[in-house]
């Protein structure tokens, strides 16, 4: 934990006018530590976001920042071009007094800061189909806007991030070493996953064959990584850009389905509340097609229903692996938190499987 004095000291490295008042922990992300800063700027109170980058997860923070800098500048140019009729925003990174996009503190941690997007918020659970439509449309727009990003290929900030077969291998290794002595409790979950192992290769095979292209994707499109405007309900700002890198469009759609269709939070233990709500799927599907439909290949379109299942299964695998490794990756707040999350995700996989025919029917009609 950082004290207010330490946080004030770190904040003082960024070019922010006015007097620091307070830093408050913010949001429910599993990876970075996020604070909302409040400044007094000549009698007006303004907010900023300041984040510690988790460098146990992102081994090259400078590469993360280089990607983010390029992507946000490009998006800002696009938004400026259409500013008159839109409220759309992009994350705006602050620079330090030495003109760097991040700063290292006395403990060796890396920090960055953004302009805080006011009058908008992120939701852990979407409330209605309109929000789902708007969120998916914004993530589709995000992909669309990055099609012409100039310069070299973005850094892979986490190599093989959505390589699901490799995630299965990591699970097997975790079962074998059983560091936390938990493998015996999770036989059922392991069996469920291993039965579906072959399917985890499907999208990578299509990519290798050339029917699904590599694109610049967000790769972490869970619904609390988009800010929804309080007034209009529009998805106005895509955030959490650490994993923006080369990927498949279907990973982004899949993660929206995983995180945006259930009526309950990701760690809900009453599994009766957990599952894919079809009306939310339909809204995500229509919202995504409204912005991304123009560039998706036939093979990408055809696999939209499968993508949700794949990424939900992959996320279950990752939670289970972390559980077996002793909770070293995702933030946890209780002893079996990762196992609860894994079971929750597997329930969503089952729910998606049971509605696959309707999902395919919707695709045919679109
Ligand atoms: P993590 O990688 O830990 O998920 P995020 O970048 O998603 O971190 O930030 C955590 C939360 O902080 C978000 O879900 C959002 O609610 C809030 N947040 C982040 N950046 C901003 C911003 N620029 N304006 C307003 N809220 C923000
Ligand atoms: C993490 O950072 P956050 O909380 O938005 C994770 C995602 C998972 C998600 C599951 C870099 O996302 O991949 O899908 O948790 N991010 C990283 O909730 O691993
Ligand atoms: Mg996040």
pLDDT digits (tens, 9 = 90+) for 117-163: 999 999 999 999 999 999 999 999 999 999 999 999 999 999 999 99
Confidence of residue 83 (pLDDT cuts 50, 70, 90): low
Which residue's CA lies nearest to atom 7 of ligand 2? 220
Q: Which tokens belong to 344?
A: 């929750």
Q: Could you tell me if the CB of 117 is within 6 A of ligand 1?
A: yes
Q: Which tokens belong to 227?
A: 């800010």
Q: For residue 331, how far is its CA from the centre of ligand 2 (angstroms)?
A: 10
Q: At what angle do helices 304-324 and 202-209 cross, to 10 degrees?
A: 120
Q: Tell me what ipTM this predicted complex has.
A: 0.97
Q: For residue 144, how far is its CA from the centre of ligand 3 (angstroms)?
A: 21
Q: Which helix H or strand E contains 253, and what residues bound it?
A: helix 249-260
Q: 180 with 249, same domain? A: yes
Q: Could you tell me if the CB of 243 is within 6 A of ligand 1?
A: no
How many Cβ atoms are within 10 Å of 290's Cβ, its own excluded? 15
Which residue's CA lies nearest to atom 12 of ligand 2? 30
Mean pLDDT for the chain overall = 96
Which residue's CA lies nearest to atom 12 of ligand 1? 27
pLDDT for the residue numbered 85: 57
CATH code for position 324: 3.90.1200.10
Q: 289 with 245, same domain? A: yes
Whether residue 124 is contained in a domain is answered as no
CATH code for position 28: 3.30.200.20
Cα–Cα distances in angstroms (integers) from residue 195 to residues 83, 168, 171, 190, in the given order: 49, 11, 14, 9
Whether residue 295 is contained in a domain is answered as yes
Give the range among 37-41, 84-88, 119-123, 350-354 with minimum mean pLDDT: 84-88
Asked whether residue 306 carries a pLDDT value surpassing 90, the answer given is yes
Q: For residue 183, how far is its CA from the centre of ligand 1 (angstroms)?
A: 34
Q: 292 with 164, same domain? A: yes
Phi and psi, residue 7, nearest 5°? -65, -40
What integer is the mean pLDDT of 281-306? Answer: 97
Q: Domain boundary at 88, 118, 148, which?
A: 118
C-alpha angle 36/37/41, rounded to 5°? 140
Q: 223 with 247, same domain? A: yes
pLDDT in tens, 97-112: 999 999 999 999 999 9
For 177, the domain range is 129-365
Q: Which tokens belong to 324?
A: 């077996």
pLDDT in tens, 189-224: 999 999 999 999 999 999 999 999 999 999 999 999
Select from 24, 31, 49, 260 the residue to mutate for testing ligand 1; criterion: most ligand atoms less than 8 Å from CB: 49
Asked whether residue 84 carries a pLDDT value surpassing 60, the answer given is no
The binding-site residues of ligand 2, defined as CB within 6 angstroms of any ligand atom, are: 29-31, 57, 220, 222, 225, 240, 242-243, 266, 315
Q: Could you tell me if the CB of 285 is within 6 A of ligand 1?
A: no
Task: Please report which ligand is nearest the Cα atom of 345.
Answer: 2
Whether residue 10 is contained in a domain is answered as yes
Confidence of residue 28 (pLDDT cuts 50, 70, 90): confident
The count of structural domains within the chain is 2
274 vs 208: CA distance, rounded Å: 34
- Helix, strand, coil % in the chain, rounded to nearest 5: 50, 15, 35
Which residue's CA lies nearest to atom 17 of ligand 2? 31
Give the range among 27-31, 77-81, 149-153, 171-175 with minimum mean pLDDT: 77-81
Whether residue 168 is contained in a domain is answered as yes
How many Cβ atoms are within 10 Å of 366's Cβ, its own excluded? 12
Q: Domain boundary at 91, 118, 145, which?
A: 118
Q: 65 with 158, same domain? A: no
């Amino acid at each position: 934990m950082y004290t207010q004095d330490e946080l004030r000291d770190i904040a003082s490295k960024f070019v922010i006018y006015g007097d620091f008042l307070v830093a408050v922990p913010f949001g429910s992300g599993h990876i970075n530590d996020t604070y909302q800063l409040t400044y007094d700027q000549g009698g007006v109170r303004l907010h900023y976001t300041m984040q510690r980058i988790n460098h146990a997860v992102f081994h090259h923070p400078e590469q993360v920042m280089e990607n983010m800098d390029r992507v946000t500048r490009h998006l800002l140019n696009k938004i400026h071009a259409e500013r008159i009729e839109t409220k759309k925003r992009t994350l705006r990174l602050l620079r330090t007094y030495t003109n760097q996009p991040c700063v290292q503190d006395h403990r060796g941690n890396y920090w960055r800061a953004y302009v805080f997007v006011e009058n908008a918020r992120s939701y852990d659970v979407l409330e209605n189909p309109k929000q789902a439509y708007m969120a998916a449309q914004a993530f589709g727009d995000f992909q669309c806007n990055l099609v012409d990003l100039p310069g070299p290929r973005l850094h892979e900030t986490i190599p093989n991030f959505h390589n699901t077969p490799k995630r299965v291998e990591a699970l097997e290794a975790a079962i074998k070493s059983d560091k936390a002595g938990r493998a015996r409790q999770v036989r059922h979950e392991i069996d469920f996953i291993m039965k579906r192992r072959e399917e985890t290769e499907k999208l990578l095979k299509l990519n290798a064959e050339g029917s699904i292209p590599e694109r610049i994707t967000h790769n972490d499109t869970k619904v609390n990584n988009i800010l929804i405007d309080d007034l209009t309900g529009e998805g106005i700002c895509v955030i959490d850009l650490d994993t923006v890198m080369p990927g498949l469009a279907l990973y982004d759609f899949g993660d929206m389905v995983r995180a945006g269709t259930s009526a309950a939070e990701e760690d809900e233990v009453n599994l009766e509340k957990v599952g894919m709500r079809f009306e939310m799927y339909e809204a995500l599907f229509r919202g995504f097609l409204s912005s991304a439909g123009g560039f998706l290949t036939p093979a990408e379109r055809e696999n939209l229903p499968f993508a949700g299942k794949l990424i939900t299964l992959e996320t279950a695998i990752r939670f289970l692996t972390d559980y077996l490794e002793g909770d070293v990756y995702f933030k946890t707040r209780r002893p079996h938190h990762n196992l609860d999350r894994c079971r929750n995700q597997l329930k969503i996989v089952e729910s998606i499987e049971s509605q696959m025919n309707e999902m395919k029917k919707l695709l045919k009609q679109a």
